[in-house]
Amino acid sequence: MEGGFSYEVIRPENQIDKGVGYFDLLMKPEQKQTVKIKLNNTGDKEITILVGAYGGKTNSGGVIEYSNNAIENDKSLKYPFESVVKVPKEVKLAANSSEDLNIEIAMPKSEFEGYIAGGILLQEKDAEGAKSQSQQGMVVNKFAYLTGMLLSEKKTDNIKQEMKLNRVYATSKNHRNVINVNYSNIQPDFVDGMTTDVQIMKADADEVVYDAKKSQMRMAPNSMIDFPISLEGSEMVPGDYRAKILVTTEAGGRWEWEQKFTITDEEADKYNARDLTLVQEPGLNWRLILLIVGGLLLVLLLIYLIVRKMNKERRKKELIAKKLAAKKKKE
């Protein structure tokens, strides 16, 4: 198909920063507004654009995601983006045509400080040909386009950063043993330039058994993060532990926590069984030993049978030779 899909953000009058490519809107309590994104199809066939509205969440790497992911909303989030912003599930575009995507915004009744943050995700629906190719094992590229949206009612310069530790617990991530530190940005503002430093030790000792540090992280407003500490291929050992946690930001924020936690026998067994890279203790491979012994016995049996057959043939030849010699003497 010649041409393709493109879009253009139509900035309304209440756009705060008119130089950015996303919606940055100054709103009022209970305000209802429709904003638009112009969708263009420059191809010669009809296409369908899938549309989604997703609130900002923070993944384990300290990156803000605006997508249909499994990350839970934080308890501090009063106004989820999905409850404020509504979009159609899909838009059909005829060949060589343009159409406006209508995005409906309905602000909460109560006045609030900070941001309601999210994004509008646009993705071209697979054509029938692409589906059949995918079923045949071919790779089909999919491109998704994100337009951010910030909704605010007043300046956010005076919001003080605030973090809250929720829990420390053992789990599995991508079939690897990890310990997660779960904490929240409980303010309706972004956190930039964040560094997280965690040390894990036994509850009654000061020796660090596991640690992790990561810089240049971000957090979405009113979001939580599961920060992972990898066990680096070692076995998860049940027992009582404590975690020393330090979170800092470039804006001068600093939070220190010390949290005790327990890894139960059941948890250790479960997650060790899932870990694909777990370093196993060396031991005897009885199956291999039995195979080797069986192979040796088979070889010895074959040698015995061959030697036995050769001896029989030799004795048979000797007997025939004796009979011939005796016959000649009689003659």
Number of H helices, E strands in the chain: 4, 18
- The answer to whether position 233 is within a domain reads yes
For residues 144 and 248, membership in a common domain is answered with no
The last residue of a domain, from among 105, 128, 152:
152
Cα angle for residues 121, 124, 126 (degrees, 5° grid): 135
Are 76 and 134 found together in one domain?
Answer: yes
Same domain as 220, residue 114: no
39/116 same-domain check = yes
Please list, in sequence order, all residues whose beta carbon lies within 8 angstroms of the beta carbon of residue 298, skipping any fewer than 6 positions away: none
Query: Contact, 85 vs 149, CB < 8 A?
Result: yes
Asked if residue 145 and residue 14 are part of one domain, the reply reads: yes
Whether 266 and 208 have beta carbons less than 8 Å apart is answered as no
Question: Is the domain of 212 the same as that of 128?
Answer: no
**Residue 206 and residue 109 in one domain:** no
Q: Per the domain annotation, does 157 fall within a domain?
A: no
Both tokens assigned to 294: 């069986």
Q: Which amino acid is at 271?
A: Y
CB–CB of 277/262 below 8 Å?
A: no
Domain count within the chain: 3
Determine the structural domain holding residue 299 and report its residue range: 285-331
Same domain? For 94 and 171 the reply is: no
Q: Assess whether 250 and 316 both reside in one domain.
A: no
Final residue of a domain: which of 274, 297, 321?
A: 274
Instruction: Record the pTM.
Output: 0.77
CATH number at residue 189: 2.60.40.10
Per-residue pLDDT of the chain (331 residues; tens, 9 = 90+): 346 899 999 999 999 999 999 999 999 999 999 999 999 999 999 999 999 999 999 999 999 999 988 899 999 999 999 999 999 999 999 999 999 999 999 999 999 999 999 999 999 987 444 444 445 555 555 678 999 999 999 877 789 999 999 999 999 999 999 999 999 999 999 999 999 999 999 999 999 999 999 999 999 999 999 999 999 889 999 999 999 999 999 999 999 999 999 999 999 999 999 988 775 555 545 566 777 888 888 888 888 888 888 888 777 777 777 766 666 666 6
φ, ψ (nearest 5 deg) of residue 183: -140, 165
